[in-house]
Amino acid sequence: MPVQSICCIGAGYVGGPTCAVIAAKCPHITVTVTDSNAARIEQWNSDILPIYEPGLEELVKRCRGVNLFFSTDVKGAVKKADLIFISVNTPTKVKGAAGEVGLAPDLQYVELAARTIAREAKEGLTLVVEKSTVPVRAAATISEMLASANRPGVSFQVLSNPEFLSEGTAIKNLLHPDRVLIGGENQQAISDLADIYAAWVPRERILETSTWSSELSKLVANALLAQRISSINAASELCEMTGANVSEVAKAVGMDSRIGPKFLNPSIGFGGSCFHKDIMSLVYLCKHYHLPENAEYWQDIINMNTHQRVRFCRKIVSSLFNTVSHKKIAVFGFAFKKDTGDTRESSSIVVADYLIGEGAEVFIYDPKVPDRQILTDLKLPQITKEISPGVITPEGIVDKSVHICRDPYDAARGAHAVVVCTEWDEFTTLDYQVIYDSMQKPAFLFDGRMILNHDTLMKIGFRVHCIGKSLNHPNKTNGASATNGYH
């Protein structure tokens, strides 16, 4: 039977945008997005949405109150639904057995959602769709929980439908996906879900696989993307030593159609809620199946990322005459990438943390991240700090050493150095002469994203350091200047 009513459990970065697009494209379906966090639901129902995503606001305003609803009444929405998306958070475990902490995903929220569904679902068949990234065989666990409710006349089909949206372009990715992946064991259930997407996605892009292939594809896709970044970052260090230019190298290798140009931008390391968590899930799975070489292979992607972050921090300190104590450093960008206010696993956290630990006064500017979020990220011990050799900063020191600025010029005024951590477009159009004039001399600039024109900056007088190109190397040729944004 065609789906007429959808409930989504979890109104986050995945659930919110996904349901807004389904509601816009399927006016005949009622979509209710639920969350146990009342403040979050209140924001979804207000003028200022809880997440920033280009194009999202327009869709929500168009559909909200028509066929798109946001509610804290999880049970009520579950009772009415033909199809339920589970899109709750699945963070990496921070407590538990030694072999699991920092590796295995914490499934407590998935389990709670499954138990609610088991108790409250309507009579007849309900499709339960796993949208959160959960480890392979999670669908089996969800199925078991649903079956254990043992309610006569109530049945479930569990499907895996991983999300490949990327923050900052989520709406575009949802409207024009490279593929939609549906994993399941029951053809009718798969077809019912495929029919929803077919309202706007060409059929040949809707891929049907087994549940296990679908779950694993999500982890492998993210690991391969992250691996490209770690590989180009590894190359960037070699470029700095040899006098090569990583932007030239990335362009040259990316023109090989077997390699392709995307995801080859060197950086201070990848962040975001997915890459680290999904690779750790892969490592955990490999260890679980006694595949140590396999586990080590994936783990090295993370190790290289940590190395890249730390070596950037060390470069800042060593360039500033080996000490940043009591020096003022401006950090441009705190989000894990441009066009999002999300800071989960952001490399900026590691950089700021490191500098504070070295005694610096850090002045942070980001166009989208709320002040409160920056302070929380720096104060609360979290997984990033546990795996990175950055310093765990005591709360009092954060209050004393961190200053949040309204604009980049404020952040840079009187600073010894500017450190570009996020590739926001607006950083490429600032008046760097004005910034230079307002700074202490010698004025340093660290471009952790390769987005600025280094020749121009050096002409102004900056001492410039970047990733993958040594501006003072004896072998330096008059190489191309920076790439601008992603390819």
Residues in contact with ligand ADP by CB under 6 A are 9-15, 34-37, 40, 74, 87-89, 109, 112-113, 132, 273
Of 226, 23, 218, the closest CA to residue 131 belongs to 218
Least Å distance, CB 136 to ligand ADP, is 17
Q: 319-328: string of b/e by CB count within 10 Å (b at 16+)?
A: bbeeebeebb
Q: Which stretch binds ligand UDX (CB under 6 A): 40-48, 53-61, 110-118, 265-273?
A: 265-273
User: Which residue, 101 or 112, has its beta carbon nearer to ligand ADP?
Assistant: 112
Q: What is the CA radius of gyration of the chain?
A: 24
C-alpha to C-alpha distances, 64 to 16, 46, 82, nearest whole angstrom = 12, 10, 20
The 8-class DSSP code of residue 71 comes to E
Cβ neighbours of residue 442 under 8 Å, at least 6 residues apart?
463
Write out the E strands in 113-205: 124-130, 154-160, 180-183
User: Which residue, 136 or 324, has its beta carbon nearer to ligand UDX?
Assistant: 136
Is residue 272 part of the contact set for ligand UDX (CB under 6 A)?
yes
User: Which residue, 183 or 272, has its beta carbon nearer to ligand ADP?
Assistant: 272
Is residue 165 part of the contact set for ligand UDX (CB under 6 A)?
yes
User: Which residue, 161 or 401, has its beta carbon nearer to ligand UDX?
Assistant: 161
Cβ neighbours of residue 397 under 8 Å, at least 6 residues apart?
356
Which helix (H) or strand (E) element contains residue 362?
Answer: strand 361-365
113 interacts with, out of ligand ADP, ligand UDX, none, CB within 5 to 8 A per kind: ligand ADP
Q: 23-59: string of b/e by CB count within 10 Å (b at 16+)?
A: bbbbeebbbbbbbbeeebbebbeeeebbbbbebbbeb
Please give the full DSSP string across 391-423, using - where no structure is assigned: ----HHHHHHHEEE-SSHHHHHTT-SEEEE-S-
Member of 17, 50, 271, 341 binding ligand UDX (CB under 6 A): 271
Distance from the Cα of residue 390 to its chain's centroid: 20
- Which residues are catalytically annotated? 274
Cβ neighbours of residue 229 under 8 Å, at least 6 residues apart?
263, 264, 265, 267, 269, 270, 305
Least Å distance, CB 185 to ligand ADP, is 24
Output the known binding site for NAD(+): 10-15, 35, 40, 88-92, 132-133, 167, 274-277, 344
Q: Which stretch binds ligand UDX (CB under 6 A): 2-10, 260-268, 318-326, 402-410?
A: 260-268
Member of 229, 280, 402, 467 binding ligand UDX (CB under 6 A): 229
89 interacts with, out of ligand UDX, ligand ADP, none, CB within 5 to 8 A per kind: ligand ADP
37 interacts with, out of ligand ADP, ligand UDX, none, CB within 5 to 8 A per kind: ligand ADP
Residues 203-222 contacting ligand UDX, CB under 6 A:
222
Q: At what angle do helices 138-148 and 211-242 cross, to 10 degrees?
A: 150
Please give the full DSSP string across 320-360, using - where no structure is assigned: TTT--TT-EEEEE--SSSTT----TT-HHHHHHHHHHHTT-
Least Å distance, CB 171 to ligand ADP, is 14
Contact between 55 and 91 (Cβ < 8 Å): no
Member of 33, 225, 411, 467 binding ligand UDX (CB under 6 A): 225
User: Which residue, 110 or 279, has its beta carbon nearer to ligand UDX?
Assistant: 279
User: Which residue, 339 or 358, has its beta carbon nearer to ligand ADP?
Assistant: 339
Least Å distance, CB 64 to ligand ADP, is 17
Give the three-class secondary structure for 223: helix
Is residue 85 part of the contact set for ligand UDX (CB under 6 A)?
no
User: Which residue, 321 or 486, has its beta carbon nearer to ligand UDX?
Assistant: 486
Residue number, nearest CB to ligand UDX: 272
Widest CA span in the chain = 78
Least Å distance, CB 270 to ligand UDX, is 3
Interface characters, 336-355, with ligand UDX (x: CB under 6 A): xx------------------
- Name the site residues for ligand UDX (rule: CB under 6 A): 163-167, 222, 225, 229, 263-265, 267, 270-272, 274-275, 336-337, 486
